[in-house]
Structures are given as structure tokens and as C-alpha cells.
Amino acid sequence: MHAARNGSALPFRIGAAVLWVLGLVCEVMAVLVMNGTLFLPGPAASTWLIIFLVVDLVLVVAGSQLWKHANHVAPASKENKVAYWVQTDLGVIVAAIAFAPVILLMLTNKDLDKGTKRVGTIVAAVALIAAVASGIDYHPATQEDLDQAEAGAAVLSDDGLAYWTPFGEVYHFNPDCQYIKNSGTIYSGTVQDAIDAKRTRGCSGCTVENGTDVLSKADPEAVAAALANVIKVGGDEADSTNQGTPDEKDASENTGEQLPKAA
């Protein structure tokens, strides 16, 4: 299970690494232009400095988004706190590496004219703040969270589906849960879809065995009514396992066979 998640996350991690390396190359180019080591024709050196800093920012931010997505697909385990911190906040670390040295070098460069130093420092500082902000995962998931969610979905949900609302912070296993039943919009998908939507925690009412709103205690008619208004964003495979023609369903009932449910 964990190996499959890591395999799915690998392309995003590779993409993030490539973008970050290109961003660091832009940082080096900015330093070389700033020091006068590298001459580029056309715009003034100060303009090239700003161009490289802006491109650096774009690459670092794009890499951070890919890395955060990879962390939601294959989150780190909290058993090793250092490894968890590095994997979760690597985007922040890279952002600091990509801009802090440039700021320090500009402030300590006595040969740099005041105008270039002032503008360059401001641009680099703004880029640093933006890159750090984009690198922070405001809804981090852990390997344990995902394991628990998938295990709970197999037992407490219907076909392994999760439900969430546009502004809610948690996912649900019961579409008629008291905390979302009055919402105008309810989305459904797999647990992974919910985590990708930044819903990394389960509802205390319907995703725990002793919850007050677990699906097994719900009114079937109310659940059916709630499902009629659900917007599906994933879980097609789960749906397809229990859908079929009326003849197929009748045959299944007559033979006493139960269609498998996706976990």
C-alpha cells in the first residue's frame, strides 16, 4: 500500500526537484549578474537581476505545489519527526535557499550601486516571502492519517466513499451527517480525493466507530435523498463495482451472491 502511494507520488517529486534545480540555477545567474561576473547584452544588469529573481520565484513556487501534492498522495510518517519535518516543509527550505543568499550578498556587496541594491533587495525579499508562503502546507497529512482514513472507509462508509463541502475542513462517511446535511453543495470521492481537497481529518460524528452519525445508524431514505444531490469528483471505480443492469442485480440477489464493495 505504501509502496503504491510512493510510486504514484514519484513523478510529482521528480517534477518538483527539476523545477527547484532550475530555480537555483536562476539564483546563481542572478548572483553572477549582480557581481558583474556575467555580462548579458540588452537590458541593464539590474534588469537582468530582477528577471532572474522573478523566474526563480516562479520555478520555486511551481515546484512547491508539485511537492505538496506528492505529500498528499504519499505523506510522511510522524514516527520519525525529523524526516516528517523535512518532507513536509521541504518547499520552505528550498525557498530560503533560493533567495536568502541573494539578499545577504546584495546587502554586503559594497561595489553594488545603491539603486540596484535597494530594488534588488526589495524584489528578493518579496520573492522570499512569497516562496515561503507557497511552500507551507497549511493542511498537512500524515501516513498514519491516510492509513486510518482508508481503514475507516472500508468499514464505516458505503463503497469507500468520502464526502465534504466547499468550506468544510473535514471529510465524512455519511452524506446525511448532521454537520453537512444542510449544506447546499456536497462533493463525494475517494478518501484520497478528500485529502487532495485539503480535508485531511475525519468528522468526529461519522468517521469513528462510536460516532453519533455513522452510516450504519442513519435513515436509509435520508441517506438516499442526500446522495441525490451529491456532486461526484472521484470514486468512479468504487461506484462501478456496485452498479449494473437490473437483471444483473436480480441475478445476484437470487443466487445469494453479494457484489464486492471497494475499500
One DSSP character per residue, 162-217 reads: EEE-SS-SEEBS-TT-TTTTT-S-EEEE-HHHHHHTT--EE-TTTSSTT-TT-GGG
Closest CA to 166 of 139, 198, 142, 138: 198
Per-residue confidence (pLDDT) for residue 1, from 0 to 100: 59
Calculate the average pLDDT of the chain: 83
Distances (CA, A) of 23 to 73, 95, 157, 247: 24, 9, 44, 59
Amino acid code (one letter) for 238: A
Closest CA to 71 of 53, 97, 51, 89: 89
Q: In whole angstroms, what is the distance from residue 73 CA to residue 7 CA?
A: 9
What are the beta bridge partners of residue 232?
Answer: 188
Q: In whole angstroms, what is the distance from residue 132 CA to residue 74 CA?
A: 22
- In the DSSP assignment, the letter for residue 229 is T
Per-residue confidence (pLDDT) for residue 241, from 0 to 100: 35
170-171 and 201-202 beta bridge pairing: parallel
Q: In whole angstroms, what is the distance from residue 222 CA to residue 239 CA?
A: 19
Inter-residue contact 91 to 13 (CB < 8 Å): no
Per-residue pLDDT of the chain (263 residues; tens, 9 = 90+): 567 777 888 999 999 999 999 999 999 999 999 888 888 888 888 899 999 999 999 999 999 999 998 998 888 888 888 998 999 999 999 999 999 999 999 999 888 888 888 999 999 999 999 999 999 998 887 888 777 777 777 777 777 788 999 988 889 998 889 898 888 899 988 888 888 888 888 888 888 888 888 888 888 888 888 888 888 886 444 443 334 443 443 433 443 333 333 33
Closest CA to 160 of 151, 168, 169: 151
- In the DSSP assignment, the letter for residue 81 is H
Per-residue confidence (pLDDT) for residue 148, from 0 to 100: 74
186-189 and 162-164 beta bridge pairing: antiparallel
CA atoms within 13 A on the CB side of 80: 8
Per-residue confidence (pLDDT) for residue 6, from 0 to 100: 78
Distances (CA, A) of 61 to 181, 233, 238: 37, 26, 34
Per-residue confidence (pLDDT) for residue 182, from 0 to 100: 85
